Amino acid sequence: MKLSNCGFKRSEYERPRNYTQDLSIPLLVSSANCDLALTLPIKYLATFLLEFPEGYHTATPYLIIKDAAQAIEFYKKAFGATEVMRFAQPDGRIGHAEIKIGDSHIMLADEFPEMGARSPQSLGGSPVSILLYVEDVDAQAKQAVAAGAKVVRPVKDQFYGDRSGSFEDPFGHQWHIATHVEDVAPDEMHKRAAAAGRG
């Protein structure tokens, strides 16, 4: 039975504090493409509906930024991000904000050194980078550079089947922008890497 076409919202259901294996509740799902009623054990329903909020994925980047408000505006211009939410502190710093690029959420906040939250600019760089898959890497790269991103590695075809480049935003975070252009089998990928002196 598929529930993916049914218009329910995860937030409509609450996970009970205590439940037993044989405890069940009715579930009514109704939409233009789906109309069904069924009873599911709560343990399955709770697991299916509430492991993470609707629209989020298993892993979500969380960026610490010096001047998060300015960064949000940059990400809108560079990557077409949309702002989902922000919570400003009384001192003007952003305690938590979320943007969405494509189908993925990215969380961010201002620096809070008193809580151990420091940005790449304060730390002298970051070992973590973010990969964005886009429809047209060349156009997206030009847009990012026009918005103020610095080219770290120019866009080119890669041995593993992507056309990609690397960029640093004005706040010290690095972004890899890519379009997948070819499926490459692992054996062929190793051959290409060796030929390029990277294997």
3-state secondary structure the chain: CCCCCCCCCHHHCCCCCCCCCCCEEEEEEECCCCEEEEEEEHHHHHHHHHCCCCCCCCCCCEEEECCHHHHHHHHHHHHCCEEEEEEECCCCCEEEEEEEECCEEEEEEECEHHHCECCHHHHCCCCCEEEEECCCHHHHHHHHHHHCCEEEEEEEECCCCEEEEEEECCCCCEEEEEEECCCCCHHHHHHHHHHCCCC
Mean pLDDT (the chain, rounded): 83
Percent of the chain predicted with pLDDT > 70: 74
Q: pLDDT for 43-96, tens place per residue?
A: 444 444 557 788 898 999 999 999 999 999 999 999 999 999 999 999 999 999
**Count of domains forming the chain:** 2
Q: Range of 103's domain?
A: 62-195
Inside any domain, residue 76 = yes
**Same-domain pairing of 46 and 72:** no
Q: Compute the half-sphere exposure of residue 179: CA atoms within 13 Å on the CB side of its CA.
A: 13
If you average pLDDT over residues 111-127, what whole number do you get? 96
CA distance 128 to 131: 10
Residue 35 covered by a domain: yes
Question: CA distances (Å), 141 to each of 58, 81, 120, 153, 193, in order?
Answer: 27, 14, 22, 11, 24
Q: Which residues contact 142 (CB under 8 A, 6 or more apart)?
A: none
Model confidence, pTM = 0.74
**Residue 23 vs residue 124, higher pLDDT:** 124
On whether residue 122 sits in a domain, the answer given is yes
174 belongs to a structural domain = yes
Residue bearing the bigger pLDDT, 142 or 38: 142
Express each pLDDT in 2-54 by its tens digit. 444 444 444 344 444 443 344 444 444 444 454 444 444 444 444 445 577 88
Query: Does residue 1 fall inside a structural domain?
Result: no
- Whether residues 24 and 108 share a domain: the answer is no
- Say whether both 18 and 41 belong to one domain: yes
CATH number at residue 166: 3.10.180.10
Least trusted range by pLDDT, from 31-35, 49-53, 127-131, 183-187:
31-35
Distance in angstroms (rounded) separating the CA atoms of residues 7 and 54: 12
Q: Are residues 41 and 126 in the same domain?
A: no
* Mean pLDDT, residues 131-151 taken together: 98
Predicted local distance difference test score (pLDDT) of residue 159: 96
Q: What pLDDT sits at residue 50?
A: 55
Verify that 152 and 93 share a domain, yes or no. Answer: yes
Nearest to 11 by CA among 55, 58, 60, 53: 53
Averaged pLDDT, 132-150: 98
Q: Is the residue at 151 inside a domain? A: yes
